[in-house]
A and B are shown apart, each in its own frame.
Chain A
Amino acid sequence: MTAESILQLKNLRKYFPIRQGMLGRVRGHVRAVDDVNLSVHAGETLGLVGESGSGKTTLGRSIVRAHAPTDGQILYRRADDTSVDLAKLSRKELRPYRRELRMIFQDPFSSLNPRMTVMDIVGEPLRIHGLASGRVLEERVAHTLERVGLRPEVMRRYPHAFSGGQRQRIGIARAIVLDSRLVVADEAVSALDVSVRAQILKLLQSLKRQMNLTYLFISHDLSVVEYIADRVAVMYVGKVVELAGTEALYHRPMHPYTEALMSAVPNPDPTQRSKRVVLSGEIPDPANPPSGCHFHPRCPYAQARCKTDPPELREVAPGRLAACHFAEQLSLRGAGER
């Protein structure tokens, strides 16, 4: 594990069996995460983008061990510099790590228990881990609520009394009430109103600075990721197809899929109605992906080799990885040239 990483994924796989018939015979597998190698640096925000079916959510859930991975390693470096493979741990062994690896969900309406007060929701992790009770617990909850921009008085209320933005603040409070180090935010601002989204993005940024957090920020929204992430990984059908520093990636993508994704984002500037690369077709079924490069049926630059020969994710420029046979030859358009 490299010195700067807080998390390193090695050949991570998560396959979901497809069962059929009364006996539930396994007829195939959905390869939601298929051989992913990725490291998250301590203190960074790593953006993870991709469309539905790309496996980005499954990857995030595997990291916090909401899913047990099928194969591969999830190496996590603790504050004392020892590292541990989370993929191998049992539920019981995982408990201390659940305090440090936290998750924020997309839907602030269904991710909070409607029968629990804010106090119970935010305080629950503290109680489960036996870290606080009574007066102390209440004070920690009050303090955490203030941190996320809510008045402590709201702790006696139930989630239905809050707007989407406030509920997301409660979800964030729950994620940071413990000594969290790595936060997986899965579409954390996608369900929010435009005017509230910016508030939550700013909140996430300031919490990261104050608490020394590392974020894995999963989103389908490329503009939001460009704003918040230091580096960005792009996923397509279970695999990382490109990884680079945010500026480099948006300035000059090196995988055709990244170019197509950027080109498809509608530009809020009517003077720049873009001549875009409209991809044909849809994201393939991860149970039955195309041969060779999974992207070849939709790729405008595909050649004969792409149909048969799966490209490796390899270093194509200093600090940049791409899984494309022609990454160096292609000159792709970035987000600024639309």
Chain B
Amino acid sequence: MTTSIGSDCLLEVQDLHVEFPTRDGVVKAVDGVDFSIKHNQTVGVVGESGSGKTVTALAILQVVSQPGKISGGRVLLRQESGNAVDIASLNPRGKAIRAIRGKDISMIFQEPMTSFSMMHTIGFQIVEAIRLHQNIGNHEARSIAIDMLRRVGIARPEERVDAYAFELSGGMRQRAMIAMALVTHPRLLIADEPTTALDVTLQAQIMELIRELQRELGMSVLLITHDLGVIAENCDEVIVMYLGEVMERAGVQHLFADPLHPYTRALLRSIPRLGHGKEWELEPIEGMVPSPYNRPTGCPFHPRCPAFIPGKCDTLRPELVEVGDGRAVRCHLYSL
């Protein structure tokens, strides 16, 4: 394993493990995840419930909730100085990680109410975020906050800056959260299902806003979603996760044109396509996502896999192997 970060990478996750000890045993929420994010790139993480996509994101910020903890691996971040720091080795409550959170890496969530406190105005909270990382006065920070609110498309930002989160509509709240996350000009934005709770017309507005700000501010985005449409429209690279493991990693064009892993193929066959009507035959995936307490042995997808090889897939865990074109697959079909 390399100890340094790739030259064009902003973030490199290496063999990341996150565990949750519970009364019923240890849940391996993230079990050996590898991927990297280049400068200005949008990387999508797609997966169903229990895939570990959100826990991976939380681990990058060292905010995995107790009693969960990073139990192995590295999260290398290239800092502005050019040096790499291993976030996974930092104390989750220490000064070093606090300097990174909100400054180098910001995160937005599905539900904006979880980002904002009900006790303070959104302006107060944005000003706080600015002053945490920049040594400037209240007045100046407030005008930066107003500017940012305007930039994310909030009308009358001079008034709205004094509003409480609950006074805003769903779409406006999402915009305010994006303003707060981006006001410090982070180099990486982690967006966890940022539009899942929104209607499609609003979703289109918010995704366009994120793309626009990404171009303007020059940042990388880690986009976590279960929606393959959102992935196809916004990402450069895609990571497909299942039960805490990366099943496939590919450029977005390759992934959709020629999915390699049986799970990716099955996922793409199981979603209805707009404009294809009834001629598009849905092929459901058999069974259900297994409980994390009851992980299948070998390949985690084997009980549902149409290409299951008895005696191999159920006993031997496949490695993630490089298959050219910058692609990687974790499946015995490709490691023969």
Within 8 A of B (CB), among A296-338: 334-338
B231 nearest CB neighbor, chain A only: A268
Q: If the complex has contacts A163-B289, A260-B201, A279-B204, are A266 and B277 also in contact, measured as CB distance less than 8 A?
A: no
A227 contacts B203, CB within 8 Å? no
A198 contacts B270, CB within 8 Å? yes
Residue from A199, A222, A270 in contact with B253 in the complex, judged by beta carbons closer than 8 Å: A270
Inter-chain contacts of A267 with B (CB < 8 A): 229, 232-233, 274
Provide the bound-state CA to CA distance between A52 and B235, in Å: 27
B274 contacts A195, CB within 8 Å? no
Inter-chain contacts of A268 with B (CB < 8 A): 228-229, 231-232, 256, 268, 271, 273
B233 contacts A193, CB within 8 Å? no
B48 nearest CB neighbor, chain A only: A193
A51 contacts B226, CB within 8 Å? no
Inter-chain contacts of B234 with A (CB < 8 A): 266
A265 contacts B199, CB within 8 Å? no
Provide the bound-state CA to CA distance between A337 and B274, in Å: 10
Residue from A202, A220, A246, A263 in contact with B199 in the complex, judged by beta carbons closer than 8 Å: A220
Within 8 A of B (CB), among A249-263: 250, 260-263
A195 contacts B284, CB within 8 Å? yes
Provide the bound-state CA to CA distance between A52 and B49, in Å: 24
B233 nearest CB neighbor, chain A only: A266
Residue from B49, B169, B257, B282 in contact with A198 in the complex, judged by beta carbons closer than 8 Å: B282
B171 contacts A194, CB within 8 Å? no
Q: If the complex has contacts A193-B48, A227-B282, are A279 and B227 also in contact, measured as CB distance less than 8 A?
A: no
Residue from B201, B205, B208, B272 in contact with A261 in the complex, judged by beta carbons closer than 8 Å: B201
Within 8 A of A (CB), among B38-95: 48-49
A265 contacts B277, CB within 8 Å? no
Shortest Cβ distance from residue B201 to the other chain A in the assembled complex, whole angstroms:
4
A283 contacts B277, CB within 8 Å? no
Provide the bound-state CA to CA distance between A260 and B203, in Å: 12
Q: If the complex has contacts A246-B277, A270-B233, are A264 and B203 also in contact, measured as CB distance less than 8 A?
A: yes
Inter-chain contacts of A131 with B (CB < 8 A): none
Provide the bound-state CA to CA distance between A165 and B270, in Å: 14
Interface centre among A283, A334, A338 (most CB of B within 10 A): A283
Provide the bound-state CA to CA distance between A247 and B280, in Å: 13
Shortest Cβ distance from residue A144 to the other chain B in the assembled complex, whole angstroms:
20
A226 contacts B229, CB within 8 Å? no
Inter-chain contacts of A195 with B (CB < 8 A): 48, 266-267, 270, 284-285, 288-289, 304
Contact with A along B283-311 (1 / 0, CB 8 A): 11100110100000000000010000000
Q: Report if B252 contacts A (CB, 8 A).
A: yes
A278 contacts B271, CB within 8 Å? no
Q: If the complex has contacts A222-B274, A335-B274, are A265 and B200 also in contact, measured as CB distance less than 8 A?
A: yes
Q: Report if A157 contacts B (CB, 8 A).
A: no
Inter-chain contacts of A334 with B (CB < 8 A): 275
Taking chain A's interface residues, is the majority helix, strand, or loop, or is none over half, making it mixed? helix
Provide the bound-state CA to CA distance between A71 and B235, in Å: 49
Q: If the complex has contacts A193-B48, A270-B253, are A264 and B204 also in contact, measured as CB distance less than 8 A?
A: yes
A278 contacts B205, CB within 8 Å? yes
Inter-chain contacts of A282 with B (CB < 8 A): 169-171, 201-202
B284 contacts A202, CB within 8 Å? yes
Q: Report if A223 contacts B (CB, 8 A).
A: yes
Within 8 A of B (CB), among A203-254: 220, 222-224, 226-227, 246-247, 250
Inter-chain contacts of B231 with A (CB < 8 A): 268
B288 contacts A196, CB within 8 Å? yes
Shortest Cβ distance from residue A51 to the other chain B in the assembled complex, whole angstroms:
4
B282 contacts A194, CB within 8 Å? no
Q: Report if B23 contacts A (CB, 8 A).
A: no
Q: If the complex has contacts A52-B199, A220-B199, A276-B204, are A266 and B230 also in contact, measured as CB distance less than 8 A?
A: yes
Inter-chain contacts of A224 with B (CB < 8 A): 272
Provide the bound-state CA to CA distance between A257 and B272, in Å: 21
Q: Report if B278 contacts A (CB, 8 A).
A: yes
Provide the bound-state CA to CA distance between A195 and B288, in Å: 8
Q: Report if A83 contacts B (CB, 8 A).
A: no
Provide the bound-state CA to CA distance between A250 and B276, in Å: 9
Inter-chain contacts of B270 with A (CB < 8 A): 194-195, 197-198
Provide the bound-state CA to CA distance between A194 and B200, in Å: 17
Shortest Cβ distance from residue A258 to the other chain B in the assembled complex, whole angstroms:
12
Q: If the complex has contacts A193-B226, A335-B275, are A220 and B200 also in contact, measured as CB distance less than 8 A?
A: yes
Shortest Cβ distance from residue A287 to the other chain B in the assembled complex, whole angstroms:
13
Inter-chain contacts of B203 with A (CB < 8 A): 264, 266
A198 contacts B283, CB within 8 Å? yes
Within 8 A of B (CB), among A163-191: 163-166
Residue from B232, B253, B266, B291 in contact with A266 in the complex, judged by beta carbons closer than 8 Å: B232
Interface centre among A250, A262, A270, A271 (most CB of B within 10 A): A270
Q: List 13 A-B contacts (CB under 8 A).
A: A163-B291, A193-B288, A194-B271, A202-B282, A226-B274, A226-B277, A260-B201, A266-B232, A268-B268, A268-B273, A273-B232, A276-B204, A282-B170
